Amino acid sequence: MKRLFAAICFCAASLTGAASAQSTDFRSWLDGFRAEAAAAGISAEVIAEAFEGVTINQRVYELNDDQPEFSRAIWDYIDGAVSERRIEIGRAKMAEHRALLSLIEQAYGVDAEIITAIWGLESSYGAVLGNYDAIEALATLAFEGRRTGYGRSQLIGALKIIQNGYALRSQLKGSWAGAMGHTQFIPTTYLTYAVDHDGDGRRDIWANLGDVFASTANYLSASGYRQNEAWGVEVRLPDGFDYALADANVHKPLVEWAAGGVKAANGASLVGRFDPNMRGRMVLPAGANGPAFMTFENFDAILKYNRSTAYALAVSLLSEEAAGRSGAVTAPWPRTDRTLAFEERKALQQALIDRGYKPGPVDGIIGAGTKRALRAWQRDNGLPADGYPSAAILAILTS
């Protein structure tokens, strides 16, 4: 027992030593950063107020280092994001704020149900804004780790928010990564797109719903959103569909997709329902064995808010429900499939390289390069070229 006790004491002492060395380093880093902020035009008063009492937040490091070992399957994500409860609250919020949302819809040309759906996903309609002090969280990220560049630029942005009087120092609360308010704006997005809708001199994305909705709409509008145009539609593919066409770079007018046998999921003609000249691209979020979606420019505008297909699809489906339509996906998700773990995704990339294809770096991130290389290998081997990294595909590739 005595030995164990001694060992524990030794451990605790060395941890305390490491933590205090880190906090000394942080304080000297912060001195340097204060000079950087001053050079960027931030006043001495704002700098002093902003960093008073700021220390490293270890929880931010834990979340930042949380490698996506197991990425969540899109069907699990959609189930949670577009839950019955979120739909129900979304419809109630649309009704409650109808007048304000209509005003903002007209002013910015962004449909009320899309603003509502983003609000619902980003903060559960304002229920979860995040309780991290944004200055502390961003200073922690800027000091060390894999997001120092992001942390520095967002920290300067946060100081500008205070200096310009858009918000008070005490208001700057948000997520561990510094995303703030009802629709989770990071400081640079806030500086460029946040709007003072009620004219009180503050762009209050934390407490004023007019400012929240107008800021969100302004950002979507600047991202290319067009009012009254659909985000997309679930489609049914013809037998023998060339899956290479389901590529982010393939945009074609609907009339061409329709001529190739693509129909709405309910079997109706695409050109009867939408402008035949509208350009769309095919999205197969779970590969050839899952649902297919024809998406339009508004889907890409939502993707600028968050570059995740799962996110953009969840916003789109939730918006349909908020507007009182059905956002239900009719084709089944391949729920018995599992998504590849981080090491498996790297193994898939390495296997493609070993077979002479070029997926790019072996980083475990399935981006456009990996998908393109996977498609090429699938095509060369007579498989449906959907570029989807399933466990079955990995098994064949590494056999």
User: Which residue's beta carbon is nearest to the bound Ca ion?
Assistant: 196
**What are the C-alpha distances in Å from 21 to residues 26, 120, 146?**
9, 42, 20
Q: How far is the CB of 41 from Ca ion (least distance, A)?
A: 24
Among 49-57, 109-117, 124-132, 190-198, the segment contacting Ca ion (CB under 5 A) = 190-198
d(CA 174, CA 189): 14
The single residue among 211, 234, 247, 320 that binds Ca ion, judged by CB under 5 A, is 211
The single residue among 45, 200, 343, 380 that binds Ca ion, judged by CB under 5 A, is 200
Indicate whether 100 belongs to the interface with Ca ion (CB under 5 A). no
Tokens 């941890």: give the residue. 15
Between residues 200 and 275, which has the closer beta carbon with respect to Ca ion? Answer: 200
Between residues 213 and 243, which has the closer beta carbon with respect to Ca ion? Answer: 213
Among 206-214, 220-228, 344-352, 370-378, the segment contacting Ca ion (CB under 5 A) = 206-214
Count of residues touching Ca ion (by CB under 5 A): 7
Between residues 113 and 211, which has the closer beta carbon with respect to Ca ion? Answer: 211
Indicate whether 202 belongs to the interface with Ca ion (CB under 5 A). yes
Sign of torsion, CA 132 134 135 139?
Answer: positive
Between residues 75 and 213, which has the closer beta carbon with respect to Ca ion? Answer: 213
DSSP state of 366: -
Among 114-122, 200-208, 260-268, 317-325, the segment contacting Ca ion (CB under 5 A) = 200-208
Cβ neighbours around 317 below 10 Å, total:
23
**What are the C-alpha distances in Å from 307 to residues 299, 313, 332, 367?**
11, 11, 24, 11
Among 33-41, 81-89, 191-199, 249-257, the segment contacting Ca ion (CB under 5 A) = 191-199
Task: Give how far the C-alpha of residue 265 lies from the chain's centroid of Cα atoms, to the nearest Å.
Answer: 27
CB neighbour list of residue 318: distance below 8 Å, 6 or more residues apart: 81, 82, 86, 87, 90, 117, 120, 121, 327
Indicate whether 198 belongs to the interface with Ca ion (CB under 5 A). yes
Between residues 4 and 99, which has the closer beta carbon with respect to Ca ion? Answer: 99
**What are the C-alpha distances in Å from 306 to residues 83, 212, 224?**
20, 17, 14
Q: How far is the CB of 299 from Ca ion (least distance, A)?
A: 30
DSSP state of 250: -
Indicate whether 275 belongs to the interface with Ca ion (CB under 5 A). no
The single residue among 38, 77, 147, 196 that binds Ca ion, judged by CB under 5 A, is 196
Cβ neighbours around 391 below 10 Å, total:
13
Among 26-34, 176-184, 208-216, 217-225, the segment contacting Ca ion (CB under 5 A) = 208-216
Q: Show the tokens assigned to 274.
A: 């939408």
Nearest Cα residue to 178 out of 147, 204, 207: 147
Among 18-26, 193-201, 244-252, 391-399, the segment contacting Ca ion (CB under 5 A) = 193-201
Indicate whether 96 belongs to the interface with Ca ion (CB under 5 A). no
Indicate whether 300 belongs to the interface with Ca ion (CB under 5 A). no
Strand residues in 163-229 grouped as ranges (E): 173-174
Q: How far is the CB of 195 from Ca ion (least distance, A)?
A: 8
d(CA 304, CA 25): 36
Binding residues (CB under 5 A) for Ca ion: these are 196, 198, 200, 202, 204, 208, 211
